[in-house]
Structure 1
Amino acid sequence: MRIENYLARISYTDLHQLSLPSLFKLHQFHVYNIPFECLDIHLGIPIELNVESIYKKVVNYFRGGFCYELNTLFNWLLNQLGYEANIISAQIINNHEPGPEYDHMAIWVKLESDWLLDVGYGDLFINPIEIKPDVVQHDGANYFMIKQLENNRYSLLMSATGTNFKERYVFSLSEVAIEKFESQSQLKQTSEDSHFVKNLICTKPTENGRKTIFNDKFLQRNNGERHISTFESESDLVKCLREEFGIDIKKYQQRLEEMFHFSF
């Protein structure tokens, strides 16, 4: 695994220095260039939580991934570059209640202060968020705030306007071994109740908005305007993935046609 190939994958061409501005750029470039996606679940390809497999998929094969993959890989990169980065567990809020432990993976970086990083949520922050309770932070698109729940437990809230905040997940600042996430990763790949089994998703932000594949729809937000188009066939989906996200799954198209559970 080569650091320079990973940096090229995220279009990071700066001469890297161990600094807060560099950490911000790494996070920005990662979310702009590597999409959140759960295609393998619909292609019947098992997702393995080890750095070598994820590196090959994301860097060599120009794919994306979901939280366990992308944050595992980014955490590895940060440590290779000299940052004090740790994997942490988070619990996604659904119906005002947190999910199970290891429901989500995020990253805690200690650099001048404590920072929350997350390149594997889907639609979240572009820049790292300082773990500084009750301070509103803006990433250029949305507003975020951290609430302290207990000594080592926090809540992340998000708002489009800076006034009405919605809780996204709760997290603890305790390093967690990647193996701890294996059970939840398997459930998200196989359970009929899994959001990722029910829905095919591929998304990444752009400088002016976001583009997203959600089942048989392609959604684009650009400077506040929204456009939605519907795929008429699996071929349209494959073409959109290639042209809009740089993901080539043409060799899996027949498998997708056999497994795809949406009516075109």
Structure 2
Amino acid sequence: MDLQHYLKRIHYKGKTEVSIETLNFLHRAHVLNVPFENFHVINRIPIVLDQEKFYSKVVERKRGGFCYELNGLFAKALEEIGFDNYFIGCSVFVPPLNDFGSNFGHLAIITSIDEQLFLVDVGFGDAFLEPLELKFDEPVFQFGFYYRLTQLPNEEILLEKSLDNESYQKMYKFTLKKRDLQDFAETCEFHQVSPLAPFTKKPLCSRATSAGRITLTSTSLTITNGQQKKEVPILSSSQFDELLEEHFGMKFTADPDLVA
């Protein structure tokens, strides 16, 4: 990959040395500038687990993607800089089922700096803006939310999120076992083709902001700032296209794969 091209894509102009500061700034720049989106899934365009393809899509064509693509690309960028990191598999909590999904339902990253371990994740859709050091039962406050890591039996670790540091919402659980990108092939396909998968229902494009999040679907545009939320109904495909360009800098007509 062309590291400088990637850094330009995420509007990052800081240092590129291995440090906690660099990791924090890179992570925040990525989630603020690269959206989580499922347009390939909706248009039945296969997503292949290949970091070169992730780079081509996100950097060269200025698109977004889902966890396998976004974290797959970010891990490669960290590797180019010199960070020591590897993939982990995560089980996402599913509220309607009150249970966790597949061990490979989500891909995240563990990064090591001077024997300190960090949970890195630029692909969950609504997670932390900066990496979380693996310290347990010590809530971390970031940009309006508290995040907590708790050790569970069987070497599992639970990630939770809270607005008030009292009532916590389960996000996902994981172990520190190293995984290869191809270990996620089955669940990557599931998320693209199964009617039970969350990403096969309707178009979704979402990115973090320093104050909250902007999310666009075929039915609404939702902008959150702290605990305030504004929702605008989408009444036409042209309105969707205009908002997609305004808030995400993306055009369907600019990408041949997305032209109906």
What TM-score do you get using the length of structure 1 for normalisation?
Answer: 0.93
User: Which residue matches 1:230?
Assistant: 233
Residues 135 and 149, structure 2, Cα contact 8 Å, conserved in 1: yes
Residues 252 and 258, structure 2, Cα contact 8 Å, conserved in 1: no
User: Which residue matches 2:99?
Assistant: 97
Number of residues of Structure 1 aligned to a counterpart in Structure 2: 257
The DSSP-based 3-state class of the residue aligned with 1:15 is: coil
User: Which residue matches 1:195?
Assistant: 198
Correspondence for 2:250 among 238, 247, 252: 247
| Structure 1 residue 217 corresponds to structure 2 residue 220 | yes
d(CA) in 2 for partners of 1:45 and 1:254? 8
Structure 1 stretch displaced more, 174-183 or 226-235 = 226-235
Residues 238 and 250, structure 1, Cα contact 8 Å, conserved in 2: no
d(CA) in 2 for partners of 1:97 and 1:209? 27
d(CA) in 2 for partners of 1:242 and 1:253? 16
User: Which residue matches 1:122?
Assistant: 125
Go from structure 1 to structure 2 and tell me whether the alpha carbon gap of 1:252 and 1:26 turns closer, same or farther (over 3 Å shift).
Answer: closer
Structure 1 stretch displaced more, 230-239 or 163-172 = 230-239
| Structure 1 residue 107 corresponds to structure 2 residue 106 | no
- Cα deviation digits, residues 108-138 of structure 1 (max 9, x gap): 0111311101000001101101111111001
Go from structure 1 to structure 2 and tell me whether the alpha carbon gap of 1:134 and 1:221 turns closer, same or farther (over 3 Å shift).
Answer: same
User: Which residue matches 1:262?
Assistant: none
Residues 234 and 253, structure 1, Cα contact 8 Å, conserved in 2: no
d(CA) in 1 for partners of 2:179 and 2:226? 39
Correspondence for 1:155 among 155, 158, 171: 158
d(CA) in 2 for partners of 1:73 and 1:251? 22
User: Which residue matches 1:24?
Assistant: 24
User: Which residue matches 1:177?
Assistant: 180
- Deviation of residue 67 (structure 1)? 0.4
The DSSP-based 3-state class of the residue aligned with 1:110 is: strand
d(CA) in 1 for partners of 2:14 and 2:37? 27
d(CA) in 2 for partners of 1:182 and 1:255? 23
d(CA) in 2 for partners of 1:71 and 1:225? 29
User: Which residue matches 1:42?
Assistant: 42
Identity %: 31
In structure 1, stretches of 5+ residues that fail to align are 259-264
Where do 4+ consecutive residues of structure 1 move more than 2 Å? 222-225, 250-256
Counterpart residue identity of residue 89, structure 2: S
Counterpart residue identity of residue 156, structure 1: L
User: Which residue matches 1:64?
Assistant: 64
Go from structure 1 to structure 2 and tell me whether the alpha carbon gap of 1:8 and 1:96 turns closer, same or farther (over 3 Å shift).
Answer: same
d(CA) in 2 for partners of 1:254 and 1:37? 14
What TM-score do you get using the length of structure 2 for normalisation?
Answer: 0.94
| Structure 1 residue 135 corresponds to structure 2 residue 138 | yes
Residues 45 and 257, structure 2, Cα contact 8 Å, conserved in 1: no
RMSD: 1.7
